[in-house]
Amino acid sequence: MEEILEILEDNARISFDDLAKLTNKKVEEVERIVKQYEKKGIIVKYKTLINKERLKEERGVVALIEVNVTPQKDVGFDQVAERIYRFPEVKSCYLLSGTYDLLLVVEGKDIHTVASFVAEKLAPLSSVKGTVTHFMLKKYKEDGVVLVKDEKNKRLAITY
């Protein structure tokens, strides 16, 4: 991957000045390259990674849902996936190889909200053959960033 993209992927807040210094390019050239990436849809969004475990307020729940679907004639999985990823509860949707066809990342205010989404919106779709839902209990690492504090082992050592 291009050096500018690698740097931006690691730190989207870096200034054009700093980016130019790191890549040995002129600031104007870096700006032009980044704008081209944005225009071509290579850079889609700048994102902040939030460790929701540390928020005091209610966080909601995240579920990973494996979905078996029947692909549609002449369009395969694309039309089915689009119908599913347009639901606002679906944060990510991936086509997979293996046992399941799609993997969804779904967020809801609580387990019941996610269960209702599956029962009332997802499962009734004619192309959906089956689902398996996994609720995320804890995130240790996301997008290459470790989210847990480096805590000392609080258990007492066993001695004989």
Q: What are phi and psi of 127, to 5 degrees?
A: -85, -10
Residues 71 and 107 in one domain: yes
Cβ contact 138:53 at 8 Å: yes
Residues 21 and 70 in one domain: no
Per the domain annotation, does 148 fall within a domain?
Answer: no
User: Between residues 10 and 80, which one has the greater pLDDT?
Assistant: 80
- The pLDDT of residue 30 is 94
Question: Over the stretch 52-77, which tens digit does the pLDDT of each residue have?
Answer: 777 777 678 999 999 999 998 888 89
Number of domains in the chain: 2
Cβ contact 39:28 at 8 Å: no
Determine the average pLDDT of the residues in 134-154.
82
Per the domain annotation, does 146 fall within a domain?
Answer: no
Question: CA of 64: how far to CAs of 105, 114, 130, 155, in Å?
Answer: 5, 10, 14, 32
Residues 57 and 11 in one domain: no
Residues 33 and 87 in one domain: no
Residues 67 and 18 in one domain: no
Whose CA is closest to 133, among 123, 147, 141?
A: 123
Quote the domain boundaries for residue 20.
3-40
Look-up: residue for tokens 């992927």? Answer: 9
First to last CA, the chain: 54
- The pLDDT of residue 116 is 97
CATH code, domain with 90 = 3.30.70.920
User: Between residues 150 and 96, which one has the greater pLDDT?
Assistant: 96
Q: Packing angle between helix 3-10 and helix 16-23, nearest 10 degrees? A: 130
